[in-house]
Amino acid sequence: METVQAAKEVNGMIAFTLVVPELQQLLLEEAGKAGIPVVDIMGPMIDGLSRLFQREPKREPGLVHRLDEDYFRRVEAIEFAVKYDDGRDPRGLLRADVILIGVSRTSKTPLSMYLAHKRLKVANVPLVPEVEPPEELFMIDNKKCIGLTIQPEQLNNIRRERLKALGLTSRANYANMERILQELEYAEKIMKRVGCPIVDVSNKAVEETANLILDILRKGGTAV
């Protein structure tokens, strides 16, 4: 082996992190023949962890780099979700893997962050009767868009609690039932215009809704 020969020429030693048993054995044998000292850096730790967790190591080269790639993709997706949250920049809709649309307090932001941890680039757009949706919303593939709706009574309760947390009166128009019905009706019209699947988030945890969305995406945008 070239490595063993190079170490022999400089009277050196070999420290290695090989995870494939056959390669480990080959290196140990060749180094032993040449009288080169060797140190297995990761072997004892892997063996110790294997005994502790009673699981066999995968012994696949390159897993660390694959984990790094996965980590950076997740970070990129999270940064994307933050940048294009709440319709801040409609240009992000054309670059997103998923676009969430719905009225205020339908969990658009929490869902965006949850899906970002699944390495999906998510943008979301609030639907408000007085504000025309960005034209980019009608340019995207409708299979990438998910409409979020909710039962009026539950939305009313959520908005009342939100106002209370902000120190505002629950009589504000934001929590007015007539206003809520108007918003939901408007949002439904926009969703039908886009032609996207619609998910009812009523009484659902973020994780549950996110799994529904992922299932829809896997099925190619089938409505639920």
Residue ranges at the known binding site: 102-109
Q: How many CB atoms lie within 10 A of CB 84?
A: 23
| Euclidean distance between CA atoms 51 and 45, whole angstroms | 10
**Closest by alpha carbon to 145, among 125, 168, 173?**
125
| Single-letter amino acid, residue 101 | I
Q: Residues annotated in the binding site for ADP, as ranges?
A: 102-109
| Euclidean distance between CA atoms 208 and 26, whole angstroms | 50
In 39-194, which residue ranges form alpha helices assigned H by DSSP?
Answer: 43-53, 63-83, 108-116, 152-165, 177-194
Length of the chain: 224
| Euclidean distance between CA atoms 122 and 115, whole angstroms | 7
**Residues 186, 129 contacting (CB under 8 angstroms):** yes
| Single-letter amino acid, residue 188 | E
**Residues 22, 33 contacting (CB under 8 angstroms):** no
